[in-house]
Each structure stands twice: as C-alpha cells, then as structure tokens.
Amino acid sequence: MAADVRSEASGPRVFLIGLAGFIVFETVAYLLLSWATSSLGQSNQMQAENTIVPNWVKTTIFLLGHLALVVVALLMLSNRLPRHYRGQIMRWFLLSLVVMFLQLILLFG
C-alpha cells in the first residue's frame, strides 16, 4: 500500500501536466462539438419567430456530446494511468463539468 503513495503524485509538475492536458482536451472538445452543432440553432436571438426549440436542440446535443466525451476520457485515463495519479482525475472531471457550461455560453455568444 505504501508504494502507491508518492510525493510526486501531487507535485507541481504533475499539476501542470494535468492542466495542460485539460486545456488541450477542452479546446479540442469545444471545437469538435461547435463544428458538429454549427448547422443547428439560430445565431440571431432577436427574431420575430420562435428560436427556443432549435437552440434547445443545439444546447442538448452540445451538453450530451461533451458529457459523453468527458466520461469516455475519464474511463480511458482511469484504466491507463498508474494508481498514484488516479486521484487527480476526479478533480479534472468535476472542473470539466463546470467548464462545459462556460463553453455553452461561448457557443451562443
């Protein structure tokens, strides 16, 4: 049990590598999902006709797609990383859920 706990598992180098991976993953996920949903929704919200339904579809597809990508990444990383690095995966997963809503604002901005 003591062999799994190392001081390097939570050092600044590991944090920076995780942060860089997180930023790359979120950037690629946003670009992929914004491309996939580019034909959906209405860009101009101030129209006489109703824009709620098309934008709701775009929002739902974006959120479900992002959640699917994050869960697949979580499962792949938890299988491939050594045990002493796995504690950091959940922090990045929870941060990704928050960033998902910020990306949604960017999607319609």
For residue range 53-68, what is the model confidence (pLDDT) as tens digits?
677 888 899 999 999 9
Q: Between 44 and 27, whose confidence is greater? A: 27
Per the structure, how many domains does the chain have? 1
Task: Write down the residue that tokens 């992002």 correspond to.
Answer: 66
Domain contains 43 = no
Domain that holds residue 55: 8-36+50-108
Cβ(9)–Cβ(84) below 8 Å:
yes
Higher pLDDT, 43 or 92: 92
**Confidence category of residue 44, pLDDT binned at 50, 70, 90:** low
Put simply, whether the predicted model's pTM sits higher than 0.85 gets the answer no
Q: At a CB cut-off of 8 Å and minimum separation 6, what does 47 contact?
A: none
Q: How far apart are CA 27 and CA 41, in angstroms?
A: 21
User: 97 in a domain, yes or no?
Assistant: yes
In a domain? residue 81: yes
Residue corresponding to tokens 């709620």: 52
- For residue 1, being part of any structural domain is answered with no
In a domain, residue 45? The reply is no
Percent of the chain with pLDDT over 70: 79
